[in-house]
Structure 1
């Protein structure tokens, strides 16, 4: 099992390499982000262990460039940055796991083995459903060349629906995945936000891709990206709410 270890602290890098070598891994070390992009793009690795705070190019940018180059090697972020937003950014950019320093070496080994077993299926950074595209890294939504501004809740709902594109999802599933556990209102809020989304992603484009499946829930279908145009005004839908 071949590992690319991206770490600029030489003592830590050598310690981790020695430990992983003892567990049967073959480890290459690079000390900066630019070298990491080159090595991961040019050679085949089973997993990449990537620090965030790196010289020349930080770990977030390394990860973003790798996924843009369609390098789908599993990536474990190994870093002292332990904020929830740091982790969210990493996962949105395509990270597979996240381990904070100081860490248990045996936990690191277990997680690396799990990533290797899982393999590296293709996972496009930009999610698409026909002509509708969503880039989690930039929180950017677009249809037929028109940028669609969304509120935070609309964005969360659309992200969930796009990840389930073609599947019917119930109100209960939507509430569980888009609203937090503290929400105590009724499920009518789902209907309200579905309506908001339709006004932004469908109606201005003359489409009906966000469908109600009577008695079951909702389904987001993919349209034909080559069919139809953009809103006559050329302006994006309103971002209110």
Structure 2
């Protein structure tokens, strides 16, 4: 990581993947401080904070609200830290066929995924420019590259995130800031726990590695992209899918 103690902000940090990424940073770099951005329910985030006292904190953050972003950054600044790594992980999907998709489903998915990444990136960029260092890592999805039936809203949001990543990477490349995204396929989190066992079996059969990803396998890629050793990688969409595509 960078020479001064890194400050990591991870959104959607009360879910399986966000917690996995946070834990990976905390266990691999003892100098970093991790802020877990959570909107409301923070039970799991608080448990991780208790496990790493003094090295992790929670910030209340509705990623779709610009004022909430400004308050979160102000809170971190008041702690005497500057965000050096932003992981835009928050988001959700609400699948429907487009012909019958409620408009609220379209707008809410675009808002929580794509608009949230825009607001977050804009909120941290000024500080990163001042430090001449920064890492923005967007958690997209394999759906951005291989759009499935019934996910026009989610696929559009994540594909937009990939394009935003590539365009922003060009804008800030000379300022010591890199912008990358990872595109995970199926990941073993609570989001998949309710999946019908027969459906899960069929999906695994379609994956060349015959299994879902573990959260730490995605987290390790995020951690690498956050390091100085990855300073010549920017604008890259990295798929983590077990060979699906």
After TM superposition, the score normalised by the length of structure 1 is 0.37
Per chain length, whose mean CA-contact separation is higher, i.e. which structure has more relative contact order (CA < 8 Å, sep 6+)? Answer: 2
Give the TM-score normalised by structure 2. Answer: 0.37
More helix by share: 2
